[in-house]
Amino acid sequence: MPGLEDLYREIILDHYRAPRNRGELAVPPAHKVEGFNPLCGDEVVLYLEVDGDTVTDLKIAGQGCSISQASTSMMSGAVKGLRVAEVRRLIRAFKALMSIHESKLEGDADGDDIRTELEGVRLGDLEALQGVVKFPVRIKCATLAWNTLQQGLDEIESGDAAT
Amino acid sequence: MNPTDHAGLDTARVQRDFPILSRTVNGKRLVYLDSASSSQKPQSVLDAMDEQYRTYYANIHRGVYTIAEESTAAYEHARAKVARFLGAAAANEVVFTKNITEAINLFAHSWGRTNLREGDAIVVTEMEHHANIVPWHMLCAELGTELRWIPIDHEFRLDLSELDRLLDGAKLFAFTAVSNVLGTVNDVRFLADAAHAAGATVLVDAAQAAPHGSVDVQAWDADVVGFTGHKMLGPSGIGGLWARPELLEAMPPFLGGGEMILDVRKDGFVPNEVPWKFEAGTMPIAEATGLAAAIDYLEILGTEAMLEHERRLTAYALDSLHDRFGDRIHVHGPAGTQMRGGIVSFGFDHIHAHDIAQVLDEEAVCVRASHHCAKPLMRVLGVPANTRASFYVYNDEADVDTLVEALERAEKFFAV
């Protein structure tokens, strides 16, 4: 039986109590994207500034549980300054990290794909969120920010973000 | 159980009737405080369903063989028992459905589409469950009817200052007898009288009132009442709709299929009589038997004793939470126990409901942390979610104490 310390690692609580990169950016030039978890009402707001092929700045807002807010804060620190292609790679790796548990349970053949996604990607502090997979209901809390980020990058690339 | 017994229920004895309460989670005694979501089941309900499956299970209203007749008799006996429990005049005023959500959808689809047209108004309240909101939204989108909302006041009760204006010209007033978030108990008879004076039909959501047997459709002077079995010690998969016979007679069928017909030809069909015309397909049969056994159990405990027990526990919980957490906790519900059920929803300023529930789970305390399928109400309260503890016949003061201790742990854990 996983314990609370598996879920609420100290670094997660630290990000929850003192979220990094909190604030807003002027839109435009930044792009604003919102994500919701309809089950619990959690909300993530991202302000993305992409210059050429690089995420030059990122601010976060919103409200929610410690896992969703800590994941958002940790994500903001991890992707700032990265090239868009690297950010997308990190998104895939993080989501792979979050699905390891389920695929193992189901003997999913995609398990190899997950290991491939994770290979060569430095998750750093983000690995602290791995404990979340032991609490399947909370996985959506952890991935909310990352899905929102992916949506934002897609919008920017498809030109929806005329703003 | 003597209803004048002020000591209330013999909770220790009640607890022994619920097998699940003897299990542990994380090595700790299970403290189940989520009965407003779904209640646990006593041994007698499990036995009744088991006995039917083992000895006389068959489809109902179809076979002429002995066990089919026994099965049919049990099903119709359950209908009669439900009717009496709800204070209905006759068994055939009760239609079985899978739950109250289906009951309200049945009424909205069948009565609503027959009787409402563009420009008509439906009145609901801000404290409704989605089950008593979304069917009306769907109807409004289809027919162009208007949905009006009775607000709540700062004491978490209905603000009735504009009641007459909101009911003016309304065709239907659909409201809950007891709020599943606030615990607020509404004066059903008063609201029904006001609606009838305005010419509106009255639908009452009794999902949280039926578990204590405090439904009396005739004393309420309601026109339609929905309930669900799984919140009142019965199995999931069965609930129902009570309605005045003249309404049921005039309503067209909801779902089409077997059982709900008298005749089917290539060019059409003749619907069955009430209530069977609303019971298409094979119904939850053993579930009806389980529900009847649940009602037997509730009637032995007695409505007055259950309500008194709940009042006592709620008062103890409100006092304990206030004593221990003071201004740091916000209870979303009426302050006293007058016209209030055993539902206590609360929040802490800097701790999300999910995080609280997670710490509570470590202590084997089961609470609900969410918007409780009442998002319009949560928006009025100004919170995305809160934590809800709900008390029922098998809960006691020790459960409240465990809850409070677990909350202290959560508060320490997430201290800023």
Written as one string, the DSSP assignment of A54-85 is EEEEEEEEEE--HHHHHHHHHHHHHHTT-BHH
Q: What CA–CA distance (Å, rounded) separates B96 from B17?
A: 27
**Would you say residue A101 has pLDDT above 90?**
no
Which residues from A are below 8 Å from B370, CB to CB?
39-41
pLDDT of residue B7: 52
Q: Is A117 on the interface with B (CB under 8 A)?
A: no
Q: What is the mean pLDDT of residues A134-138?
A: 85
Judged by CB atoms closer than 8 Å, whether chains meet at B354 and A40 is answered as yes
Determine what percent of chain A is predicted with pLDDT higher than 70: 84
Q: How far is B370 from chain A (nearest CA, A)?
A: 5
Judged by CB atoms closer than 8 Å, whether chains meet at A41 and B358 is answered as no
Which residue in the block uniquely carries the two structure tokens 């919980």? Answer: B317
Which residue in the block uniquely carries the two structure tokens 């304990």? Answer: B320
Which residues from B are below 8 Å from A1, CB to CB?
26
Q: How far is CA B130 from CA A158, B134, B236, B373, in A?
A: 36, 6, 18, 5
Which residues from B are below 8 Å from A3, CB to CB?
362
Judged by CB atoms closer than 8 Å, whether chains meet at A40 and B414 is answered as no
Please count the other Cβ atoms lying within 10 Å of the Cβ belonging to residue A151. Answer: 15
**Would you say residue A161 has pLDDT above 70?**
no
Judged by CB atoms closer than 8 Å, whether chains meet at B369 and A64 is answered as no
**Would you say residue A48 has pLDDT above 70?**
yes
Radius of gyration in angstroms for the set of CA atoms belonging to chain B, rounded to a whole number: 22
Count the helices and strands in chain A (H runs, E runs): 6, 3
Judged by CB atoms closer than 8 Å, whether chains meet at A4 and B354 is answered as no
Which among B25, B28, B130, B358 is the top mutation candidate for probing chain A, defined by the most A β-carbons within 10 Å of its own β-carbon?
Answer: B358
Which among A1, A4, A71, A134 is the top mutation candidate for probing chain B, defined by the most B β-carbons within 10 Å of its own β-carbon?
Answer: A4
Q: What CA–CA distance (Å, rounded) separates B309 from B328?
A: 27
Judged by CB atoms closer than 8 Å, whether chains meet at A64 and B384 is answered as yes
Identity of the amino acid at B185 = V
**pLDDT tens track of chain B, all 416 residues?**
333 444 578 999 999 999 999 999 989 999 999 999 999 999 999 999 999 999 999 999 988 899 999 999 999 999 999 999 999 999 999 999 999 999 999 999 999 999 999 999 999 999 999 999 999 999 999 999 999 999 999 999 999 999 999 999 999 999 999 999 999 999 999 999 999 999 999 999 999 999 999 999 999 999 999 999 999 999 999 999 999 999 999 999 999 998 888 999 999 999 999 999 999 999 999 999 999 999 999 999 999 999 999 999 999 999 999 999 999 999 999 999 999 999 999 999 889 999 999 999 999 999 999 888 898 998 899 888 899 999 999 999 999 999 999 999 999 988 86
Cα B154 off chain centre by: 24
Which among A12, A45, A65 is the top mutation candidate for probing chain B, defined by the most B β-carbons within 10 Å of its own β-carbon?
Answer: A65
Q: Pick from A138, A131, A145: which is nearest to A77 by CA?
A: A145
Judged by CB atoms closer than 8 Å, whether chains meet at B352 and A65 is answered as yes
Q: How far is B416 from chain A (nearest CA, A)?
A: 6
Q: Is the ipTM of this complex over 0.90?
A: no
Q: Going by C-beta distance under 8 Å and a sequence separation of 6 or more, which residues neighbour residue A154?
A: none
Which residues from B are below 8 Å from A16, CB to CB?
414
Judged by CB atoms closer than 8 Å, whether chains meet at B413 and A138 is answered as no
pLDDT of residue B310: 95
β-pair partners for B124: B149
**Domains in chain A, please, with CATH?**
4-158 (3.90.1010.10)
Between A135 and B4, whose confidence is greater? A135
The angle at the Cα of A89, spanning A86 to A91, to the nearest 5 degrees, equals 110
Check: CB of residue B221 under 8 Å from CB of residue B196: yes
**Domains in chain B, please, with CATH?**
11-41+303-413 (3.90.1150.10), 46-299 (3.40.640.10)
Cα B104 off chain centre by: 12
pTM (2 decimals)? Answer: 0.91
Q: Is A48 on the interface with B (CB under 8 A)?
A: no
pLDDT digits (tens, 9 = 90+) for B200-231: 999 999 999 999 999 999 999 999 999 999 99
Helix, strand, coil shares, percent, chain B, to 5: 45, 20, 35
Identity of the amino acid at B401 = D
Which residue in the block uniquely carries the two structure tokens 């079985």? Answer: B96
β-pair partners for B185: B178
Catalytic residues of B: 373
Which residues from A are below 8 Å from B378, CB to CB?
41
Judged by CB atoms closer than 8 Å, whether chains meet at A4 and B362 is answered as yes
End-to-end CA distance of chain B: 49
Which residues from B are below 8 Å from A63, CB to CB?
384
Q: How far is CA B194 from CA B165, B172, B324, in A?
A: 11, 12, 42
Check: CB of residue B240 under 8 Å from CB of residue B97: yes
Identity of the amino acid at B124 = V
Judged by CB atoms closer than 8 Å, whether chains meet at B358 and A7 is answered as yes
Q: Is A49 on the interface with B (CB under 8 A)?
A: no
Residues 138-157 of B with CB under 8 A from A: none
pLDDT of residue B2: 39
Residue A115: which pLDDT band, with cuts at 50, 70 and 90?
low
Q: Is B355 on the interface with A (CB under 8 A)?
A: yes
Q: Which residue from A16, A41, A138 is facing B371, i.e. has the nearest CB?
A: A41
Judged by CB atoms closer than 8 Å, whether chains meet at A4 and B385 is answered as no
Q: Pick from B35, B72, B74: which is nearest to B310 by CA?
A: B35
Q: Is B358 on the interface with A (CB under 8 A)?
A: yes
Q: Going by C-beta distance under 8 Å and a sequence separation of 6 or more, which residues neighbour residue A116?
A: none
Q: How far is B231 from chain A (nearest CA, A)?
A: 21
Q: Is B189 on the interface with A (CB under 8 A)?
A: no
Q: What CA–CA distance (Å, rounded) separates A138 from A132?
A: 6
Q: What is the mean pLDDT of residues A84-99?
A: 89
